[in-house]
Amino acid sequence: MTFSALHDVGRAIEVDLDGTTLARYVYVPTDVQLESPRPYLHPVRTRGGDLVTAFRPHDHVWHKGIAWSLPVVGGHNFWGGPTYVHGQGYVQLENDGSMDHVALTDLSVGPDRVDLTHTLAWHTQSGEHVIDEQRTLGFVVPDGRDDAWVLTFETTMTNVSSADLTLGSPTTRGRENAGYGGLFWRGPRSFTGGTLLAPGISGGEEIRGSRGPWMGFVGQHDETGGASTVVIVDSTDNPSHPPQWFARTEQFGCLNPAPFFSTEVPFTPGDTLRFRYAVVIADGASDPESAAGLAALGSSA
């Protein structure tokens, strides 16, 4: 087993394992302002080489693989696209902010993992610097498994502005069962109609809004007809743990542990918030029992 990291300096880092590109972390995106430029992971693949992310899907061009995306940060939108305004629906406002690269402070390659640390400055659409962030990503191969790997994502955000930047969602602003925001995974188009997994549960969109320590998604691939499983694990230290989950299967496949699904998280000047997640990427289909085993891999990564 051989890990490597290819650094496209000033643009992205590509993590490979035995000749398969597991993920590409684009830390300096070229997106237009309306899409809230922010770092993202795409493509993301299983160890068998199957693609499990979508990039700029036509229905929501601001969806970017796996990305830290927040639709309600005070009066600002760091998700992209229009903002939900109660009584008006979605309105395109001049409030699409950006998460901007400052520095990569660490990149290390070991026998069973790659780690990187990234600092960012968040700016509003008008250019005001409002948040400082440090995030750490790990790409980990668990012992004794040849069918799965784990992405760890940890972020520390500090409000450096003079304003209240309370974190919320369209649901906290009045739209029922639309509490998305946070670490968001968008699956490929062929995953539409897939299956959601949670502790002891297998189903569809009726699971959206439920609470739990982890949730998984099983989708099928075009061409091969094979399947892959994605499981996201919420850290016990995260605000609002266990979170409500935003997930979809019918229009497209997505998963999102949403710490501000139905309750806002305060973020006043000088406050610091920390969130940590694990995303387990596995070859093959899973059921609730085997997905729980994958979640355990994420918890220990």
What does the pLDDT look like over 118-139, one tens digit per residue?
A: 999 999 999 999 999 999 999 9
> Would 10 be classed as within a structural domain?
no
User: For 126, which DSSP code?
Assistant: T
User: Residues 117-148, buried b or exposed e (16+ Cβ, 10 A)?
Assistant: bbebebbbbeeeebbbbbbbbbbbbbeeeeeb
Number of domains in the chain: 1
**Chain mean pLDDT for the chain:** 97
- Distance of alpha carbon 229 from alpha carbon 238, whole angstroms: 24
Segments forming the whole domain that contains residue 164? 29-300
pLDDT at residue 21 is higher than 90: yes
> Would 12 be classed as within a structural domain?
no
Give one DSSP letter per residue of 215-243, joined into a string. EEEEEE-TTT--EEEEEEEE-TTSTTSSP
pLDDT at residue 56 is higher than 90: yes
The structure tokens listed for 186 are 């968008």
Per-residue pLDDT band for 60 (boundaries 50, 70, 90) equals very high
Per-residue pLDDT band for 156 (boundaries 50, 70, 90) equals very high
> Would 93 be classed as within a structural domain?
yes
State residue 2's pLDDT score.
Answer: 87
- Distance of alpha carbon 35 from alpha carbon 265, whole angstroms: 24
**Among 62-66, 110-114, 142-146, 244-248, where is mean pLDDT lowest?**
142-146
pLDDT digits (tens, 9 = 90+) for 177-191: 999 999 999 999 999
State residue 1's pLDDT score.
Answer: 81
pLDDT digits (tens, 9 = 90+) for 84-115: 999 999 999 999 999 999 999 999 999 999 99
Per-residue pLDDT band for 144 (boundaries 50, 70, 90) equals confident
User: Residues 186-214, buried b or exposed e (16+ Cβ, 10 A)?
Assistant: bbbebbeebbbbbbeebeeeebbbbebbb
Per-residue pLDDT band for 173 (boundaries 50, 70, 90) equals very high
> Would 3 be classed as within a structural domain?
no
> Would 16 be classed as within a structural domain?
no
> Would 77 be classed as within a structural domain?
yes
Average pLDDT over residues 38-53: 98
State residue 250's pLDDT score.
Answer: 96
pLDDT digits (tens, 9 = 90+) for 185-226: 999 999 999 999 999 999 999 999 999 999 999 999 999 999
pTM: 0.98
> Would 69 be classed as within a structural domain?
yes
> Would 153 be classed as within a structural domain?
yes
